[in-house]
Structure 1
Amino acid sequence: MSQPREIDMDGFLLVAQGHSAFQLLWSGVQLGLFDTLSRQPDSSADQLGQSMGLQAYPCRVLLTGLAALGLIVKVDGRFRNSAVAESVLVRDRPDSMAPVLGWQAEIVYPGLQDFLPSLRAGRNLGLSRFPGSGETLYERLVSHPELEQVFQDAMSSLSRQANRLIVDAFDFGRFTHVVDAGGGDGTNAIALARRYPSLRVTVYDSESVCHIASEKIAAAGLADRVFTCVGNFLQDPFPAGVDAILFCHILTIWSMERNRDLLRKCWRSLPADGAVVVFNMMGNDDDTGPIGTALGSPYFLAIATGEGMLHARKDYQQAMLEAGFTRVVEVGGLPLHHGMLVAHKN
């Protein structure tokens, strides 16, 4: 049971003016402020204004806001990155969140303007911000190549961070052929193939995404063991001869009812010793957080599909058992509110 959480006035002001906080953050990233402070800590306001091409007044507004947020630190008129900013806001850092913030700025931010109407309607009215065919964001991104690239860059960034956890958190070497369902640009598949030299991995995604993945796979020199499969795994069959199916940051997209149906389909597709591996951020079982997952769910309601959320562990576990899997093993100790559940057919 998580501890009850109550907000203080500073927390309230941050929520109430969250739009300003994000714009300060995103502007700092776009203007290269955190990159500059990483290279040149203890810079003055004048030096930073010159590096960003800003006049003194707008530079002061930006630096004051970011210092108040604790993203940069001001001491004796000099500025440096906070520890968090140095870790996740410098663009060439391995854990940089800059691509994820691009997705927030260009996709999540516009769509969430329709959050209240989406709540009332119970469907993703924010999708209207992205014209095209289809009832989900993922279908409509095909009509917006630039936004699709923003989305894939963000997902690839998340995958790079995640695959360092995935490849060692669970022994995929016990399998011969893994399907990475909704595997995106192949980041996870490539990492798995490198970690497990005898493993074959297939990225199962849309045609446009598989094209991106194929290029990355070829560049990695792994085309003999990492493949792509074009299709919609909600409707089309899984590739034959696989003994594991990986869902990485995927089952958040849909309702647990739809996930249960998909898990039943997985159960029917797998051999007796097969398994499904689910890896993503997961909510508390009592629906009180954590904050990172709770703030992620409005995107799925208002924009992505109108039905998903960052589900609780217990909901995944129940759906797996109801789908026919005989046992579910949780892999613990993962950071950033992530969880991994392995559902074994037998």
Structure 2
Amino acid sequence: MSLLPLGYLLLRTTKCYTTRHVPVRNLMSKQLVYQQFGDPLCVVQFREAAIPQLGDLEVLVRMLAAPVNPADINTIQGSHPDLPCLPHVPGDEGVGDIMEIGRKVTYVEPGHRVVLSSRQLGSWRYYGIYNETDVHKVPPNIPLAEASMLTVAPVSAYRLLNDFKQQKLCPGQCIVQNGANSAIGQSVIQICKAMGVNTLNIVANHCGYESVKEHLLSIGATKVYTLEEAEELACCGLSFQRPTLALNCIGGRYEDVMLMLLERCGDMVYYGGAYCLPLNQYMRNDVWFHKFLLSNWDQNTTNVEKEFTYKYIQELIVMGKFRAPMYEPVMLKYYDYALRNTCHCEAFSTLNYVFDFTLI
């Protein structure tokens, strides 16, 4: 029996669902793919693949937009805690329209708009085949940018704010975070604003700091500090509202200063780039330390909890209380531009990149 071409196999996710070997339509999908882990600028390739026949529980999605997240870069590099089988189509999240469904699919119908609700399904392509359990319906009135970035940054932000304190955050309380200009950081600010929770936000004093600060304040940040300003605040013993929760994605001095600012018996959550760092418990033995990985939450949470989280964020979007982090749309064929700027961007840039499949 002859081997199927690589591009043909990559139209499906890496999960082992039932496959068929006979294409049912004369339709090709342009997509990105990598066959080994390494530098994204070296291992990611632009390819075309024929679209195979759907399995009974599968759906064909015409992708409309898909962001480039730091976690996507880490996965391609092979440094993410949870790695896919190779070869693989990158992209953790995205939004698209249902084009066709398998004969046993009941959750969605052609024409429904959906987002990918599981990780590492491969969204950097014009057409993708997914299991119906891996897509989530969203209202058509949600803008494409917000929909495409619905399931990673805002979901992570909501879970970070709600899953690690013994007592729920209440209006008037305060949290502190580093990496506040990241997509998750911007999401934390907006969700806290909607909750009535104050935010102390620490960013680097790089070139362009004033514009970063202005943007974060415009989306609801209470205070924005450079690392040096936060250290001065922590060391001077000034009277200020101490945060009860610290969100740590960087580590180092940024972690140390947050521990100095944190209220007694507070909580610190490690995520992102700080996920695998050693816990700095020697500085504060009264603090509760936690780690968060979105893929773990995806695998262990219930469908009811997922639905609740997505619905909460969708309602904020519709009410105008949440907007997508700052982004630049990019055509898929210019993927090297988006990958290069994501890999080599200023560590405290507020700009994200989104593959926009509606651009021609």
Identify the TM-score tier after normalising by the shorter chain.
Answer: 0.3 to 0.5
Query: Greater strand share, 1 or 2?
Result: 2
Question: Which is bigger in relative contact order (C-alpha 8 A, separation at least 6)?
Answer: 2
Query: Greater helix share, 1 or 2?
Result: 1
